[in-house]
Chain A
Amino acid sequence: MKIGAKLTAILVLVAMAGIILSALISYVVARKGIIEEIERHLESVVVLKEDHLKKYVEERIGDLDHMTRNKLYREVFLGASKQKIRGVLKETLAHKKELIELFTLNLDGVVDVSTDERQEGKIKSYEKYFIEGKKGPFLQSLYYDLSLQVPSMTISAPIRDEQGGLSGLLVGRVNLKRISSLMTDRTGLGKTGETYLVNLSNFMITESRFEKGLALNKFVSTEGVRDCLKGNSGHRMYVNYMGTPVLGYYEWIPETRACLLAEISEKEAFAPIDRLRNILAFVTIGVVILVIIFGFFFSKTISKPLEKLIRGIERIGKGDLEHRVDVRGKDEIGKLAFAFNHMTERRQEADEMLRKAHDELEQRVEERTSELVREIGERKQVEAALQETEKLYRTLIETSPDAIVLVDMNTNFLMVNQVAVRLYGYQNEEEMIGKTFLNLIVPEERPRLFEHFKDTRQTGSNQILEHTSLKKDGSSFHAAVNASLIFDAQGRPKGIIAITRDMTEHKRAEEEREKLIHELQEALAKVKTLSGMLPICASCKKIRDDKGYWNQIEAYIGDHSETEFTHTICPECMKKLYPDFADNKNKEVIKENIK
């Protein structure tokens, strides 16, 4: 949401909140005040009416009481004839408009004399006014008199004789119209207000202001009446017998055993409140509108320069560093614009510098890159050559029939070739590498070898050393080692490379040679004996040896050479000696025999 709108909204909301709050509060307070005012008014009306009513009732009771106490009246009641009594009663009635009938009851409750002759003879012994009236003046509050067929309020008073004994009752019926008009006249309750009475049986006793014929017909059981009939007084808002929502005040009047209610319709009562509410609503709306308009314009003074600033920033952001935001003014936005412009300038300068540096860097990078490319090419070549060399060496080492090892400056194997592994009887290189070469020397010769090692290490001397080697399985063999110091790239001694040859074969070969020479010498000795002058007998052909003894020829040759004689017969002798066997057929047999 745009700032302009936000600002407007905030302003409006705050203002609205304030206005509405104060409107509400004043409405609530005023309403309460008005209601209280009305309640007080209603109460005063009720009090006034109650006063009138009580007074009225008291007066009527007083009327009767007075009559029964009055000497003259009493005389009449006690002594005179029915006609006389009737006359007196009628006359009294003529003067007392508040009464509509006067009659006397005898002690059985029968109407003795009445201003309405029709009533004479009727039995009223059931009536409360008879039962209670015997004790003292009694008001029977409003009920429906079936004789008269009208609502009636009856007052009774005892008639006592001189001795004070009860001789009868004087009863008067009160003109209810008067009571009704008491209630309905001049209530001061405006157009919709009224007062009325309701009796214990929930019947409206007095006439309604608004509908005729309700007196004693209307069953009223509204909230107000219900509460009042419990004996309570108070005010309340409820729906009345007409179905109108009213504000009412009610009071229970024990003297008449009825409820007095004063009601005014809520609508009329609250009219001033409604007016107030409407005024407040109007004012609130008006002010809110003003606030919105004002807020709108006011917020523009902030949002407009802000927008300008934003647009300027955007433009700069897009790259137009030449642009400057045209917002002046001493407020924060103006300062912001100024600062931003300044920042843009600095940015421009920095940009320039950056560009320069960037260009420079690029160049350097280019140069360096081509260098590197070249170096890499060279290195690759070197590497290739190196690899070739390494391969060559490796092949050399592995194809050599000798054991070739490399040990470090601490006598430990760094490298051993396969011949070495096999020669010393190990499984693989790993078994040997890292361990000292002295393990492969028989213990008695280790010091000597170690000395030689140190020597070589020190001086780089290069000598062949024969020694006895030790295999893994513990067997030993004769070996000859040729060690040489090797150096690293920096020319520091790195290790010693040693080539060891199994001399066992060599030794054996030597020993065999010796033996062979010896044999040869022996043979030669034998052979020499046969060379030179050999004295031989011309007749028997015996030979004289170097000891002077004459040996048979075969003996002498046999001793002095490797020759062995197989004696056979030559053909000539054969003929001579064995003429039988001279022919070829028996050559084989002869050969066989002779062998």
Chain B
Amino acid sequence: MKMNIWVVLLISALAILGCTDGEKKGLDEITVKLKYFHQAQFAGNYVANEKGFYADESLKVNLVPFSLEEPPIVAVLSGKALFGITGANELIMARAQGLPIKSFAVIYKTSPICAYSLKRSGIVRPHDFLGKKVGLEKAPDIEMMYSAMMTRLGIDRRRMKEVKIDFDANKLLDGTVDVATGYAGNEPHQAIQAGHEVNIILMADYGANMYGDVLFATEDTINKKPELVEHFLRATLKGWQYAIENQEEAVGIILKYATDKTKSLQSYMLQRSIPLIHTGDSPVGWMEKARWKEVQDIMLQQKTLNKEIDVDKAYTTRFLEKIYNKS
């Protein structure tokens, strides 16, 4: 009889060991829905995954890229993903519709939305757009920011020719437009790859600044599973910090995930992104009410938002405070 018990125990032990990786180590498996396709924009997440920061926090993270059928907010609300990355303006819009999502960290403290021109054009600031052909990408946030900037600067948009363009630098390169809009880490690279020097005109420099990518989850998750949020955030921030300090290595990690495996692109994107994420005057991920208000102000001004929301409820700094010991 005694033998039998030992055999049973042994088999059970082996069975338990034979289970999947996640269960073996006692990891919580979660899904994170990214704002876009895999690229250096999400460097922190990739680094956290590859360097085992998520595992250190007992997490097994699936990073799922953007899909039209299921944008991050939908994915998170439907429960398909626990966390998501979306724009701060999109989050405010969702909240205005009563959707119970909340941000717990900001990644891009400065919006990457920019205008760019070839150096030889001499267009170095928005004021130079007057009388020129401006290519506007069909993204709502780009349009909103562009409009906000022009309003702030008091520039009359009728004094330039605005053309709708796609999400690439083609129209700039072929001369259809003199200056194009895009994201600082992305489209300008195409021009650089083509051998040109580029002027980057960051809209944040010209009065249209708002938070870009933010991390969010449902209020339910934040209230009922705060440990998961904390673990995820801590590892992600650690990932970003590591990427900031070890950019070369980070690029290598990004390339494992990126859809576009052009090293120079991912390297360029990371290089351009880091100053927007790591501004030196506050820790990575830190949020302030004034900046959230700015987002709302721009939205209200540009009529993308009709009604004010309680900005305090759109985000929480409690996890940041805990992680940075600032509470």
Contacts and interface: CB of A to CB of B under 8 A. Distances in A.
A219 B275 contact: no
A19 to B, nearest CB: 48
B22 interface: no
Contacts of A151: 280
A203 interface: yes
Nearest to A111: B205
B280 A121 contact: no
B125 A199 contact: no
Interface in B134-181: 152-153
B45 interface: no
Contacts of B244: 217, 219
B88 to A, nearest CB: 16
B325 A146 contact: no
A125 B207 contact: yes
B275 A123 contact: no
B110 interface: yes
A525 B273 CA distance: 187
**Which size class do A's interface residues fall under?**
20 to 34
B205 A147 contact: yes
A379 to B, nearest CB: 81
Nearest to A218: B245
Interface string B49-60: 000000000000
Interface in A298-335: none
B36 interface: no
Contact of B206 (A123, A142, A146, A202): A123
Given A121-B126, A219-B241, A201 B206 contact: no
A294 interface: no
Interface string B102-141: 0000000010000000000000111100000000000000
Interface in B202-236: 202, 204-207, 209
A219 B245 contact: yes
A123 B282 contact: no
Interface in B281-317: 281-284, 286
A216 B275 CA distance: 10
A214 interface: yes
Nearest to B244: A217
Nearest to A123: B207
A122 interface: yes
Contact of B281 (A118, A201, A214, A217): A201
B125 A122 contact: yes
Interface string A113-126: 00001101111011
A146 B202 contact: yes
A146 B276 contact: yes
A149 B245 contact: no
B202 A147 contact: yes
B283 A202 contact: yes
B12 to A, nearest CB: 42
A126 B279 contact: no
B241 A122 contact: no
B280 A219 contact: no
Nearest to B241: A219
Contacts of A201: 280-283, 286
A122 B124 contact: no
B245 A217 contact: yes
B35 interface: no
A149 B184 CA distance: 13
A245 to B, nearest CB: 21
A435 to B, nearest CB: 86
A142 B280 contact: yes
A426 interface: no
Contacts of B279: 143-144, 146
Nearest to A140: B281
Contacts of A142: 280
Interface of A: 117-118, 120-123, 125-126, 142-144, 146-147, 149, 151, 199-203, 214, 216-219, 226
Interface of B: 110, 124-127, 152-153, 202, 204-207, 209, 241, 244-245, 275-276, 278-284, 286, 324-325
17 contacts: A120-B125, A121-B125, A121-B153, A122-B205, A122-B206, A126-B209, A144-B280, A146-B204, A146-B276, A146-B279, A199-B281, A200-B281, A201-B280, A202-B283, A203-B280, A216-B280, A219-B244
Given A201-B280, A217-B245, A218-B245, 18 more contacts: A120-B125, A121-B127, A121-B153, A123-B206, A143-B281, A144-B275, A144-B280, A144-B281, A146-B202, A200-B281, A201-B281, A201-B283, A202-B283, A203-B278, A216-B278, A217-B244, A219-B241, A219-B245
Those 9 A-B pairs whose CB atoms lie nearest each other, nearest first:
A144-B280, A143-B281, A123-B207, A143-B280, A122-B205, A121-B125, A146-B275, A219-B241, A216-B280
